[in-house]
Every structure is written in structure tokens, then in C-alpha cells.
Structure 1
Amino acid sequence: MDKRYKPLSAAEQLRQRVALLDSITMQPRMVLPQAVRTLRTGMRLTVPEYARLTGVAVRTIHEIEAGKANPSLSTANKLLSPFGLVLGVVQQGEQHEG
């Protein structure tokens, strides 16, 4: 847990996780770098903590969040799976404001 934040109670953590997942699922057109960073920071994880959780290298996470890497489907799903998410496909067209 990122030490810049005060610890949350179990109930507060659960509320935070539900709100975070709701915000992500309400934005199906969110690009992967933004989704990864939103999930990681929303869960108050440092990059090294997120790397240990997902099995993805720290450098790879940094590059993905910066939009400098184009991860494989397997890597993308490793980054999303701890949150019960998978990478999906949406129809091209109008962007929904989220």
C-alpha cells in the first residue's frame, strides 16, 4: 500500500474498490494506459507493488502507463485480472463522455 495514504478500514477499502470498478466499467472506451494507471493509483498501489501482484515487470508497467509500450493481450490481461477485468472490444463510433 502506498505510504502516502492513511490506512483505510476494511469497509472503506471495499467501498473504494466498488467505486473504482464502477468508474472503470462506465468508461468502456478508456485506453489501456489510462485504465492501468487508474486501477493502480485507485487501489493505492505503487508500481513495484503492482508488479509483484501481476507478475509484470516494473519497467513494463511504467512504459504502458506512459503510452510507450504496446503490451501483448496476455500482459494486458495480467494487469487487469486482479480486479476481475479482461481486455475487451467495443464498437468504433462516438466517444461516450465518462
Structure 2
Amino acid sequence: LGTYQSEVGRTSCFVCGGNLVTKRSGAVTFQECETKVQCSPGHYYNTSTHRCIRCPMGTFQGEFGQNYCVSCPGNTTTDFDGSTNIMQCKNRQCGGELGDF
């Protein structure tokens, strides 16, 4: 627990770091590493600084206690950092919200 491996055939695992743990053995992504700090939606837990950081522009996080932000799909971005929902991702060219095309 506390490690993951995303590459098939590897014999060693990556450490989650920052005192993060995994719910189960056999974790395959960093996203399966869980934080002990419950950061608010729109934030992620930074394992280097041990702090909750706002998700940067172009990303969002809708859940509590995550260690990553989700990238906006395709050619979309957000107007601000700390976004909490995919609906805040907007088309870069026309400024319309995702789904309003």
C-alpha cells in the first residue's frame, strides 16, 4: 500500500509520496493515491508542499480530498483557477461553455 505501477511488466512500483496511501494493493495510477487532507473541490493536495492548491486554469476538480486536477477536454479551458466542474470548461475560440455548441 502507498505505491502504484501503471506500466505492465515492471517489477517495482512508484511511491505515492507525501504520506499518501492507497486503498488497495495493485493500484495502477497516481490518482489511486489518497490524501489524508480533505482539500475542497477546485483544489488538489500537493505532495511536495503538503498543502491544498487551487486547480490551475484549464483544469477542474469536483470532489473532496483529491491529489490531482482533471484537464478540460479538447480545445477547452476555464476562465479562472479553482474550477469545480467540467461545465466551467469553455471553448477557447468562441468563449461558449462546453455543451453549448
Q: Same fold (TM over 0.5)?
A: no
Point out the structure with the larger helix share: 1
TM-score by length of 1: 0.24
Q: Which has the higher strand share?
A: 2
